[in-house]
Amino acid sequence: MKYYENFLDSQLLNELERELSSITDWKDFDRNTSHMKETYNENAKVFNELRSILHSKNFIQWVEEESSVNGLIVDSFGIGEGISLMEKGDKLNSHIDFNWNDRIKMYRSVNLLIYFGDCQGGEFHIWDDNREKIIFEKSPKNNSAILFKHSETKSHGVNSVLSGKRYAIRQFYYKSELSVDNPHQSLYWFNVNKNMKTNSKGDYENK
């Protein structure tokens, strides 16, 4: 888990704050006594500009370096992603996130949460494997972010918001766990009758 402050530059931050405060198409998320509001507003101009940054080659490379996970991709449809709003009394009980995106047939690997707003309470926390103690907890400070790997054993949640507004933007990064026996680039010199090497590692001698 990694925590960052002053995550976005001031101009983008100011534009996002104005846009977030103007959103009205919130939908209730209720599950196992948890509650928040969320939206995936395709018409939110600044939010979509941010998504373009989070989906860019340079940013994905940054996520790979920070998480030590290579080969990450994004889901351009943003399944399960979007913006959440939590206000007084809202909370998310401890849970394990979905691990499989059936649209792109890939496993969820790394999560990024970016926080906006001003609130009391609403701390994000992660439990140990046995849910005996909290091993990570951070308050949702305005313009902060948390990057953490998906886990099937370490659950996480959000404490009750006591006052104010807690906005969060969710971005997920995926990775295939599948492999092939003979990975290669294009075989322009393919001969079905010959066991040919590939040029994946510079093997060009059998053209």
What's the pLDDT score for residue 43? 85
pLDDT at 55: 97
From CA 203, how far away is CA 198, in angstroms rounded? 6
- The domain 2-175 belongs to what CATH superfamily? q2cbj1_9rhob like domain (2.60.120.620)
- Helix or strand holding residue 60 (H, E): helix 57-67
pLDDT confidence of residue 207: 41
Determine whether 172 is exposed, middle or buried from the number of CB atoms within 10 Å of its CB (0-12, 13-18, 19+): buried
Domain edges within the chain = 2-175, 182-207
Q: Which residue has the higher pLDDT, 183 or 4?
A: 4
Q: State pLDDT tens for residues 145-156.
A: 999 999 999 999
pLDDT tens column, 91-146: 999 999 999 999 999 999 999 999 999 999 999 999 999 999 999 999 999 999 99
Looking at residue 179, its pLDDT comes to 64
Going by the DSSP 8-state scheme, the letter that residue 8 receives in this structure is: S
Burial zone of 131 (CB within 10 Å; 0-12 exposed, 13-18 middle, 19+ buried) = exposed
Q: What is the pLDDT of residues 162-207, one digit of tens each?
A: 999 999 999 999 998 766 666 656 555 555 566 655 544 444 444 4
Which tokens sit at 34? 């948890």
What is the pLDDT at residue 194?
64
Q: What is the pLDDT of residue 203?
A: 46
pLDDT at res. 205: 45
Say if residues 29 and 37 touch (Cβ distance below 8 Å): yes
Report CA-CA distances (Å) from 178 to 55, 61, 175, 181, 185: 22, 21, 9, 10, 17
pLDDT at 186: 59
